[in-house]
Amino acid sequence: MDQIDEFASMFRRAERRPFVHETVPLVRVAIVTDGDADAANSIRERLVTFVPRLSSVEDWQLITGDQFHTVQELTDRLTSDTPDLVVTFRHLHEESLIPQHSLGVYVDVMTQVLAPPVLLLPGTGRQPGDFASEACDAIMVVTDHIAGDSRLINYGVALSAGTGDMWLCHVEDDAVFNRYMQAIEKIPEIDTEQARVLLGRQLLKDAGDFIESAIAELQTRQTGVTYHASVVRGHRLQQYLQLVESHDVHLVVVNTKDEDQLAMHGMAYALSIELNDRPLLLL
């Protein structure tokens, strides 16, 4: 009955999850900061420079440090205000001035509890970093969490200045691949070399097909942007950091939610910690 599996695999392989373009609404934006109203207004102005599309936002909700004292208080307010985007910093209501090994409890909870995405700006709540010397025209979308999640790319497109470059990236974890290959090498019924080639190819294929379909669709919609695909296998964190550095990426879009756990998705957390010098859009 091996042929049943063979044909089922062929038909599953023929299944495509094409990219579906959707316009992301950005009507109501909340800025959460430790600072006062002036500081919040300053952030808003720089934000509009960074993401020109935000100039059409109708409702800015500026939540300053004195308007919330607990995580619950803040999340309750944001839930009732229903913004389309939350803009904030690491380590809200914390003394640490040098972000190193965490994001702070507020960001941790906001990304997991709130429906709208969180735009995490460089620096901390106390000491915001510099981020808006120019419009955002170099965006990297990390699609490795779920290839097929059009939402991630749609948000990247929504925050783009409409010019420049966008990298749609997927990195398959080499360590995981090698661990499975080590197991396969010990199974006489499986041809090791064939498994290495076919497994390696199939792992990259789904993401590659999805990214290809996204680029084909986006090229007809946002013609000022040059789209690039990067689908590789390697050390995931190092590969992403290298891509960010080598392309001087202004904004990284990453998925943080994981159906299987309450905490932030592993790769998103690692990137959020490491990339503290540039804005991150956490979905």
Nearest one of 90, 143, 102, 173 to 252, comparing CA atoms? 143
| Radius of gyration (C-alpha) of the chain in whole angstroms | 21
Taking CB under 8 A as the rule, does residue 17 contact other proteins?
yes
Binding residues with other proteins: total (CB under 8 A): 14
Give yes or no for residue 180 binding other proteins (CB under 8 A).
Answer: no
> Binding to other proteins by residue 175, rule CB under 8 A?
no
Binding segment (CB under 8 A) for other proteins, from list 12-20, 50-58, 190-198, 262-270 = 12-20
Rounded to a whole number of angstroms, the minimum distance from the CB of residue 7 to other proteins is: 4
User: Under 8 Å CB-to-CB from 143, ≥6 apart: which residues?
Assistant: 149, 152, 153, 168, 169, 170, 207, 210, 211
Q: Do the beta carbons of residue 253 and residue 119 sit within 8 Å?
A: no
* φ, ψ for residue 31, nearest 5 deg: -110, 125
Residue span 58-97 as binding mask against other proteins, x where in contact by CB under 8 A, dash where not:
----------------------------------------
Reported residue count of the chain is 283
How far is 27 from 100, CA to CA, in rounded Å?
33
Q: Candidates 10-18, 21-29, 187-195, 230-238 — which segment interacts with other proteins by CB under 8 A?
A: 10-18
* DSSP one-letter code for 65: G
Query: Residue 77 or 151: which CB sits closer to other proteins?
Result: 151
Site for other proteins contains 18 (CB under 8 A)? yes
| Neighbour tally for 225: CB within 10 Å | 20
Looking at the Cβ atoms of 18 and 129, the one nearer to other proteins is 18
* Least distance in angstroms from the C-beta of 184 to other proteins: 20
Contact pick of 10, 98, 175, 262 for other proteins (by CB under 8 A) = 10
- Residue 4 in the binding site for other proteins (CB under 8 A): yes
d(CA 189, CA 203): 21
Reported as type and span, the H/E element at residue 193 is helix 192-221
User: Which residues of the shown chain bind other proteins in the complex (CB under 8 A)?
Assistant: 1, 3-4, 7-8, 10-18
